[in-house]
Amino acid sequence: MVIESFFDSKPEMLSAVQAHLLQSIESAQQKYGNALLALSGGSSPKPLYESLAQQDLDWSRTRIALVDERWVDKDHPASNEAFIERCFSSGACQGLNIAGLKNQAKSAAAGLAAAEEQYRRLGRAFDFALLGMGTDGHTASWFPRADGLDDALSSQTNDQQLLCVVHARQSEVTGPYTERMTLNKHAVLNSSTVALMISGQEKFDVYQTAKNAAVQDHPVAALLQQQEKDIHVFYAP
């Protein structure tokens, strides 16, 4: 089920998402002793992460994992892990633990087992998963008609399988980095809270189309059309 929250400006939207995130973090730390977040890369959440990094939290009891990653090294400009690490680089975040996806394997397929093991060691489902959406209707690294998309969205996934490898069709959205590793649909929907953040009229139009579109053409539809989990959609122009 989709729960929509629309705002007049991006700062208002980001403030609302941050409030939800903080609530999830504090609740999880009280309940489990630590909080597990699955965060996405991209320019849209950058101010959110930088603001969140300034909050007075026990960051040593917060663990961040990646929703998805390009198969590039951490020192590469396109690395999501490096991007998130920079966003949370302030002194307030000393002790923050980030679980990346890229490892020393030459390919995402070869590195999948090691990445799966690392994510399983997190110990439980995510408390909060934050996703974005592209103008092509992708979310996470679920790209339209990509090789591996069926596996990513399969309802037959077992509880031990959290990740999959996707080879996207190159486009303006993907750029040259088409080899990806990503959380699968099961792992996302198993999160306590799932949020989808969208900004701009073009993406809003894609979002509206995806509500009734084929999943292969608009993979974000896999979240919007399912009924088992609430998806909190935050939108600002």
- How does pLDDT run across 99-151, given as a tens digit for each residue? 999 999 999 999 999 999 999 999 999 999 999 999 999 999 999 999 999 99
Query: What is the average per-residue pLDDT within 206-227?
Result: 98
- Is pLDDT above 70 for 157? no
In the CATH scheme, what is the code of domain 2-236? Answer: 3.40.50.1360
What percent of the chain has pLDDT above 90? Answer: 91
- How does pLDDT run across 73-95, given as a tens digit for each residue? 999 999 999 999 999 987 778 76
- Domain borders along the chain are 2-236
pLDDT band with cut points at 50, 70 and 90 for residue 236: very high
- How does pLDDT run across 5-19, given as a tens digit for each residue? 999 999 999 999 999
- Is pLDDT above 70 for 206? yes
- Is pLDDT above 70 for 232? yes
Query: What is the average per-residue pLDDT within 154-180?
Result: 91
Mean pLDDT across the chain, nearest whole number?
A: 96
Residue 66 in tokens: 């990646």
pLDDT band with cut points at 50, 70 and 90 for residue 210: very high
What percent of the chain has pLDDT above 70? Answer: 99
Answer with the residue of higher pLDDT: 144 or 59: 144
